[in-house]
Structure formats: C-alpha cells, structure tokens
C-alpha cells in the first residue's frame, strides 16, 4: 500500500495505496484478539476511513475543476485546503489528534511501532508531492498547534505508549511546518524520527515495559539497555549534540530565513516542553 502511494502519479492510485495501507494494519492491531485491541482498531479504522473519504472528495473536486488526475496538479485552492485537512487527520495533526494516544495505548507495542512510524510514510509522501501548492498559513496553524499540544499532552502521562504518541504528534507538527518551504527537510526529519521511535519501541518491547515506574527497575536488570533508552529519548527531544537536534535546528534556521520568526519561537518553546517530559522519564 505504501509502495503504491509512493510510486503513483495518478490520484486514484495514490488513494488506493492509502486504503490498502489502512486495511493491512488492522489485523495486526487486533492480534492478540481482545476487547482493547479491537476497540483501538475500530477507532483507527473509522478515523482513517473518514479521512480517505475527504481525500476522495478533494480529488474528485480537483479533477472536476482542472480536468487533471496527476498528483502534482492541485491548482484549485479549495481542493488543496480540503486535501491538507484530510492528510492532517490521517497523520494525527492537531486538532485531529485525539485518536493517536487512544489507539496507541490500546494496541501491542509492535503494532504501535508500525502505527507511529511506517503508517506516516504514505500521507507524508502525498504532502511532499503537493507541497508547492499548499497554503502556508494553514500549515503553520496545524504545525504550531500540533507541536504545542504534543508537548502539553505528554506532561501528565505515565504510560510510555501515550508519551510516544504525543511525541509523534509534536514531530508531525515540525514536519508539516517546513513542507512547503523545504520539503527535503521534511523527509530528513521523518527518517530520523522513524529511526529513533522504532529503536525506542524495540527497547520497550525487549524489556516488556509500558509504564514509567517500570523503567526504574530496569537499571539493575540491564544497564546498557537503560543507557540506550536515555540517549534515544534525549535524541527524540532534540537535545544537542544528538541526532534529533539536527532536523529541528535546520527547520528553525529555514523558518527564520523565510521571516517566520514567531512560528520559529513557538516551535522552539514547544520543543522545550517535549524535552521536559523526556528528562522526567530519565530522572
């Protein structure tokens, strides 16, 4: 499904890829079969199906107005706005973020890892491809609200999966803000985020840890694993000189060059919120 979306230059093929992608992860989310997993899978399915319908509406509206089905021709302003909002729903950007922590919390760690990493690739690739025609003001609004909500939401959480879900919302905000200025930075940020989040989930899965208080006993069991998790968390928070700092720094630099200084300030402050709750986990 992801490959289909990445390789297609026709809107219907790209939409089909998104649909296959959604349907393919649902059996993974419901295994092992219990009430919590099933509930999370249904929430995820309803949200993704709604977003897909809105994307289909935007595609048809754009084709009706421009007689174009190619992925790069989204010249109609309304079609672009509707498309951006639908992709924000798919990616879990604020204010459409409510499903992300709930779904991530209700499914196993391995499914959660796929949900917060691989499932972001296809919608981000569509954003990347239509980036020249996107509305900058809408992107900034979605991005800043995601970064701030991602920071605030994680403050009062004790479940590690929920914290990683809020971290995902915040990171998606950083990727969205730069997509129409320098799309290659979005890809760089996505790759680093995927690498760090996958590593974190694999560490949690290996140690069967899902709550913060369980981490305190981990130091005695496996010191190298604890140190690795600390470094990954600080990298996700964007602490220099770790890898996670690089995309944030480059994005802030680009925003300042393009005179979006207020946006850059808000994003930098939201990064502090994120870093605070990662530091608290480590502490």
- Tokens describing residue 234: 């600080």
CB within 8 Å of 159: residues ≥ 6 apart: 105, 210, 211, 212
The pLDDT value recorded for residue 186 is 95
DSSP string over 103-144: HHHHS-HHHHHHHHTGGGHHHHHHHHHTGGGS-HHHHHHHHH
The pLDDT value recorded for residue 209 is 87
Distance (Å) of CA 277 to CA 57, 106, 147, 158, 212: 39, 21, 14, 10, 11
Q: Can you list the residues of the chain whose pLDDT is less than 50?
A: none
Question: What is the phi/psi pair of residue 135, to 5°?
Answer: -85, 115
Three-state secondary-structure class, residue 194 = helix
Number of H helices, E strands in the chain: 15, 0
The pLDDT value recorded for residue 222 is 84
The pLDDT value recorded for residue 63 is 92
Residue 262 contacts residue 142 (beta carbons within 8 Å)? no
The pLDDT value recorded for residue 162 is 94
The pLDDT value recorded for residue 259 is 87
The pLDDT value recorded for residue 166 is 95
Residue labelled with tokens 């969205």:
176
The pLDDT value recorded for residue 4 is 95
DSSP string over 20-83: HHHHHHHHHHT-S--HHHHHHHHHHHHHHHHHHHHHHHHHHHHHHHH---BTT----HHHHHHH
Smallest CA-to-CA distance from 189 within 141, 241, 120 is with: 120
10 beta partners: 70
């Amino acid at each position: 499904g992801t490959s289909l979306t990445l390789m297609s230059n026709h809107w219907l093929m790209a939409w089909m890829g998104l649909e296959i992608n959604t349907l393919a992860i649902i059996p993974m989310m419901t295994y092992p079969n219990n009430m919590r997993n099933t509930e999370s899978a249904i929430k995820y399915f309803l949200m993704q199906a709604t977003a897909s319908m809105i994307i289909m509406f935007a595609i048809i509206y754009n084709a009706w107005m421009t007689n174009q089905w190619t992925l790069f021709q989204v010249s109609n302003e309304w079609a672009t706005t509707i498309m951006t909002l639908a992709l924000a729903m798919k990616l879990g950007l604020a204010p459409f973020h409510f499903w992300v922590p709930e779904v991530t919390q209700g499914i196993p760690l391995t499914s959660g890892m796929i949900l917060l990493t691989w499932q972001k690739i296809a919608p981000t690739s569509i954003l990347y491809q239509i980036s020249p025609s996107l509305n900058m003001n809408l992107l900034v609004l979605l991005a800043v609200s995601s970064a701030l909500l991602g920071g605030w939401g994680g403050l009062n959480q004790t479940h590690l999966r929920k914290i990683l879900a809020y971290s995902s919302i915040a990171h998606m905000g950083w990727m969205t803000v730069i997509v129409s200025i320098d799309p290659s930075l979005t890809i760089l940020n996505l790759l680093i985020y995927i690498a760090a989040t996958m590593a974190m989930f694999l560490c949690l899965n290996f140690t069967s840890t899902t709550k913060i208080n369980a981490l305190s006993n981990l130091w005695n069991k496996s010191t190298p694993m604890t140190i690795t998790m600390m470094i990954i968390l600080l990298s996700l928070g964007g602490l220099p000189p770790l890898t996670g700092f690089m995309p944030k720094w480059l994005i802030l630099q680009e925003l300042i060059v393009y005179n979006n200084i207020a946006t850059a300030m808000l994003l930098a402050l939201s990064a502090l919120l994120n870093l605070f709750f990662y530091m608290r986990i480590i502490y």
